[in-house]
Amino acid sequence: MPQEPSRRERGLDLRNIDLLRFIRPYKTRLVAGIGATISHSLVTVFFFKLFKDFLDTMIDSIATSRHSLRPLTLISLTLVGMFLFKGIAYYGQRYLTTYVAQRTMKDLREALYRHLQSMSMEFFDKNKVGQIMSRTVNDVAILEGAIVSGAINVFYNLITLVVGMGYLLYLNPKLTVLILAVFPSIVYVYRKYSRRIRGMSRRIQESVADINDVLHEGLVGIRIVKSFVREDYEFNRFVRENEANFAAHRKNAQLTATLSPMVELLASLGFTLVLWFGGYEVIRGTMTPGELIAFFTLALMIINPLKALSGLSHTVQNALAAADRIVDLLNQRPAITEIANPKELPSDTPGRVELRNVSFGYHPGELVLRDINLEIEPGETVALVGPSGAGKSTLADLIPRFYEVTSGEILVDGHDIKTLSLASLRQAIAVVPQETVLFAGSIYDNILYGNLGADREEVVAAAQAANAHGFISALEHGYDTIIGEKGVGLSGGQRQRIAIARALLKNPRILILDEATSALDTQSEALVQEALENLMRDRTTLVIAHRLSTIVEADKIVVLDRGQIVEVGTHQELLAKGGFYHRLYEGQWQEQ
Ligand code: ATP
């Protein structure tokens, strides 16, 4: 996906505000959580006031030789009450803020997935799956981490810092000013480092996406990797990406590890000064010992929020970069959209397909299909043949509107497909691709995918028509057999027959079939062929044909070459013509 470092460099991008809409539904809880956070901070600082009173009362008692325990008991009881209240406030703060953060992230993940589903095929051509996944999974996780442990802590620490400073000012303005004098140097160091940390965080994110890509490719293509004995080659690619990731982490660790001690060192310089001047004030009698000890311990406590705030730059910068990428993704619009008030294609539509002067290119100025005119009557089977790269798959992809024609129009039963709702158009079409895709789950669920409203009888009937019932029943768990990610444990032919059963259950008017090129054994081939015949019966079928038997039996053969239809006719007609098809036949199918 395009990276724009200049914008990332700026850090806070106003478009990130878009993400606030995800928090809006939970604003009551958020406000309550903020209230609890403020109460918690106030009570934390109040402790120091009680501590000071306790010390002064004690020192006063010693000095005046009055031995009444009453004030001490009172202060101690207040302390117990205070800790009780603090505990409740802490619970409210943690529970409510985490609730809001996690619910927001849940909604965001769902919105992202929904958004991804709505994107056109063009988007999935341009962006690698690894990168898209890294965005939906990692970036949301980064944001989640930053909000749960980051934003909530930032807020708590900020409040504690402000309230604490307020009390320090009240206790002794002079000493507080002394502490504040150290602040500019801290801010300077912080700003200098955080810019470099931001750049490094970006590099880490990118390297994680690269690792995902290499891993994804190497595992999805493991069969190819093994057959070429390229394990070492793939491993070395992985090692390279891993090393880049480690180098970025190492540099990042150096930067963040320097930042915290620097801030701490500067801060401790301030405290040494406080101790010296404070001691001097107590000796002079302008400050009580209780005040100095409370001042000093509170100031020491405030260094924690300060340190946490400076250490958080890393998380915050990461989160900003992640938020940026998420907003980028959410702002991308699908290339293919419906018109306002689209027509619904009825489910019993006859299924006549017509392409009128259709041209198409994946990239502007590079036409892959040129001036295609094609009519497929309801129930007719058209075989699409042509050399590799001729544009057969592209043509097939245009009918369910996976891509938009560059010019011309495609009509289904007289309706321009651009005027139809995408769901009703695609509901009328079943696509059986070359590569069978089965989802993790049971065989039953995989067939049911074709029509979620079907009952068991219909599923079994579809499996029977697809020649799959026999082998499914022979399995130990029958239809409830769980198949792995890519249908592990089933033969190629069995997988194809499950995919055919799924398409049969969908019962579409139009069928787009990309015949598998990989040869099955004769028996399996016959079973698949018969299943396909059952599937094609009475449906308008466009088949990207690889088998001679399919081509010979087709009502019409359309020969495509370099994006253009060069010949149309039946097998006999085209052979007799002795043209392109004849040459293709001689080269490819004669031996079949
Ligand atoms: P094959 O029989 O090898 O599958 P085909 O006839 O189905 O080939 P297509 O896959 O439609 O041919 O490809 C036609 C042309 O379009 C080729 O030049 C190919 O490189 C290009 N092409 C295919 N898919 C894309 C894509 N997603 N993005 C860009 N170009 C593409």
| 583: pLDDT strictly greater than 50 | yes
Q: Which one, of 253, 156, 123, lies nearest residue 200 by Cα?
A: 253
Distance from residue 123's CA to the centre of ligand 1 (Å) = 16
Tell me which amino acid residue 5 is.
P
What's the confidence (pLDDT) of residue 591? 54
Residue 138 burial class via C-beta count within 10 angstroms: exposed 0-12, middle 13-18, buried 19 and up: middle
Distance from residue 526's CA to the centre of ligand 1 (Å) = 29
Tell me which amino acid residue 450 is.
G
| 229: pLDDT strictly greater than 70 | yes
What's the confidence (pLDDT) of residue 312? 66
What's the confidence (pLDDT) of residue 14? 47
Supply the pTM of this predicted model.
Answer: 0.72
What's the confidence (pLDDT) of residue 129? 80
Cβ atoms of 469 and 461 within 8 Å: the answer is no
Q: Which residue CA neighbors atom 27 of ligand 1 most closely?
A: 125
What's the confidence (pLDDT) of residue 406? 92
Q: Which residue CA neighbors atom 31 of ligand 1 most closely?
A: 362
**CA 390 to ligand 1: nearest atom:** 6
Query: 590 falls in which pLDDT band (50, 70, 90)?
Result: low
Q: Which residue CA neighbors atom 14 of ligand 1 most closely?
A: 391
Query: 553 falls in which pLDDT band (50, 70, 90)?
Result: confident
Alpha-carbon distance values, 384 to 172, 405, 480, 583 (Å): 88, 18, 37, 16
Largest CA distance in the chain: 126
| 3: pLDDT strictly greater than 90 | no
Q: Which residue CA neighbors atom 2 of ligand 1 most closely?
A: 388
Cβ atoms of 382 and 539 within 8 Å: the answer is no
| 160: pLDDT strictly greater than 80 | yes
What's the confidence (pLDDT) of residue 102? 87
Give the residue-averaged pLDDT of 470-499: 81
What's the confidence (pLDDT) of residue 313? 64
Distance from residue 583's CA to the centre of ligand 1 (Å) = 22
Q: Which residue CA neighbors atom 29 of ligand 1 most closely?
A: 362
Distance from residue 391's CA to the centre of ligand 1 (Å) = 6
| 108: pLDDT strictly greater than 70 | yes
Distance from residue 438's CA to the centre of ligand 1 (Å) = 24
Q: 15 vs 159, which has greater pLDDT?
A: 159
Only one residue has tokens 């965080």, namely 201
Lowest mean pLDDT among 120-134, 212-226, 409-423, 561-575: 120-134
Distance from residue 491's CA to the centre of ligand 1 (Å) = 28
Helices 492-506 and 456-465 sit at what angle, rounded to 10 degrees? 130
Task: Give the model confidence (pLDDT) of 492-505 as tens digits.
Answer: 888 889 999 999 99
* 298 φ/ψ sector (left φ>0, alpha ψ -120 to 50, else beta): alpha
Cβ neighbours of residue 493 closer than 8 Å, sequence gap 6 or more: 520, 521, 524, 525, 527, 528
Cβ atoms of 263 and 190 within 8 Å: the answer is yes
Distance from residue 132's CA to the centre of ligand 1 (Å) = 23
Distance from residue 395's CA to the centre of ligand 1 (Å) = 9
Q: Which one, of 433, 395, 430, 466, lies nearest residue 541 by Cα?
A: 430
DSSP classification of residue 420: B
Query: 22 falls in which pLDDT band (50, 70, 90)?
Result: confident
Cβ atoms of 98 and 148 within 8 Å: the answer is yes
Ligand 1 pocket, residues with Cβ under 6 angstroms: 125, 362, 368, 386, 388-394
Residue 336: which H helix or E strand, with range? none
What's the confidence (pLDDT) of residue 576? 87
Task: Give the model confidence (pLDDT) of 187-215 as tens digits.
Answer: 677 767 777 887 888 889 889 989 998 99
Cβ atoms of 298 and 48 within 8 Å: the answer is yes
Q: 105 vs 516, which has greater pLDDT?
A: 105
What's the confidence (pLDDT) of residue 5? 39
Q: Which residue CA neighbors atom 10 of ligand 1 most closely?
A: 393
Question: Percent of the chain scored above 90 by pLDDT?
Answer: 29
Q: Which one, of 154, 151, 142, 144, lies nearest residue 309 by Cα?
A: 154
| 375: pLDDT strictly greater than 70 | yes
| 91: pLDDT strictly greater than 50 | yes
| 149: pLDDT strictly greater than 70 | no
DSSP classification of residue 345: P
Give the residue-averaged pLDDT of 548-571: 89
**CA 397 to ligand 1: nearest atom:** 11
Give the residue-averaged pLDDT of 438-447: 87
Query: 18 falls in which pLDDT band (50, 70, 90)?
Result: confident
What's the confidence (pLDDT) of residue 11? 42
Distance from residue 519's CA to the centre of ligand 1 (Å) = 22
**CA 121 to ligand 1: nearest atom:** 27
| 510: pLDDT strictly greater than 50 | yes
Only one residue has tokens 């880049």, namely 244
Distance from residue 129's CA to the centre of ligand 1 (Å) = 19
Q: Quick check: helix, strand or coil at residue 442?
A: strand
Cα separation, 146 vs 314, whole angstroms: 9
**CA 544 to ligand 1: nearest atom:** 7
Ligand 1 site-directed mutation target among 119, 126, 393, 398, most atoms within 8 Å of CB: 393
Lowest mean pLDDT among 67-71, 232-236, 239-243, 340-344: 67-71
Cα separation, 393 vs 383, whole angstroms: 12
Question: Percent of the chain scored above 70 by pLDDT?
Answer: 91
The separation between the first and the last C-alpha atoms of the chain, rounded to the nearest angstrom, is: 45
Structure tokens of 182?
């150290």
| 13: pLDDT strictly greater than 60 | no
Q: Which residue CA neighbors atom 24 of ligand 1 most closely?
A: 394
Distance from residue 566's CA to the centre of ligand 1 (Å) = 18
Q: 384 vs 578, which has greater pLDDT?
A: 384
Q: Which residue CA neighbors atom 9 of ligand 1 most closely?
A: 391
| 8: pLDDT strictly greater than 50 | no
Give the residue-averaged pLDDT of 337-361: 90
| 411: pLDDT strictly greater than 90 | yes
Distance from residue 191's CA to the centre of ligand 1 (Å) = 51
Distance from residue 433's CA to the centre of ligand 1 (Å) = 14
Within 18-69, where are the H helices?
27-64
**CA 560 to ligand 1: nearest atom:** 6
Cβ neighbours of 489 (radius 10 Å): 12
What's the confidence (pLDDT) of residue 10? 40
Cα separation, 395 vs 455, whole angstroms: 34
Compute the 3-state secondary structure of the chain and give helix, strand, coil in percent, each to the nearest 5.
65, 10, 20
Q: Which one, of 256, 251, 297, lies nearest residue 278 by Cα?
A: 297
- For the chain, how big is the Rg over CA atoms in Å? 35
Give the residue-averaged pLDDT of 447-471: 91
What's the confidence (pLDDT) of residue 425? 92
- Cα angle 70, 72, 73 (rounded to 5 degrees) comes to 65
Q: Which residue CA neighbors atom 20 of ligand 1 most closely?
A: 389
Q: Which one, of 420, 431, 367, lies nearest residue 397 by Cα?
A: 431
Cα separation, 50 vs 85, whole angstroms: 15
Structure tokens of 196?
């470099």
Cα separation, 466 vs 470, whole angstroms: 10
What's the confidence (pLDDT) of residue 80? 92
Cα separation, 427 vs 73, whole angstroms: 78
Task: Give the model confidence (pLDDT) of 265-310 as tens digits.
Answer: 877 777 788 789 889 989 998 888 888 888 888 887 877 777 667 6
**CA 125 to ligand 1: nearest atom:** 27
Give the residue-averaged pLDDT of 221-239: 89
Q: Which one, of 138, 240, 250, 248, lies nearest residue 204 by Cα?
A: 248
Ligand 1 site-directed mutation target among 362, 406, 551, 566, most atoms within 8 Å of CB: 362
What's the confidence (pLDDT) of residue 519? 65
Q: Which one, of 121, 576, 574, lies nearest residue 385 by Cα?
A: 574
Ligand 1 site-directed mutation target among 128, 336, 372, 394, most atoms within 8 Å of CB: 394
Cα separation, 240 vs 371, whole angstroms: 47
Distance from residue 177's CA to the centre of ligand 1 (Å) = 71
Alpha-carbon distance values, 7 to 17, 127, 249, 324 (Å): 15, 20, 22, 9
Lowest mean pLDDT among 66-75, 312-321, 423-432: 312-321
Distance from residue 386's CA to the centre of ligand 1 (Å) = 12
* Average of per-residue pLDDT values in the chain: 84
Q: Which residue CA neighbors atom 3 of ligand 1 most closely?
A: 388
Q: 247 vs 187, which has greater pLDDT?
A: 247
Residue 223: which H helix or E strand, with range? helix 222-227
Q: Which one, of 500, 490, 427, 502, lies nearest residue 459 by Cα?
A: 502
- Strands of the sheet with 540-544, listed across from one edge: 429-432, 510-514, 540-544, 381-385, 556-561, 564-569
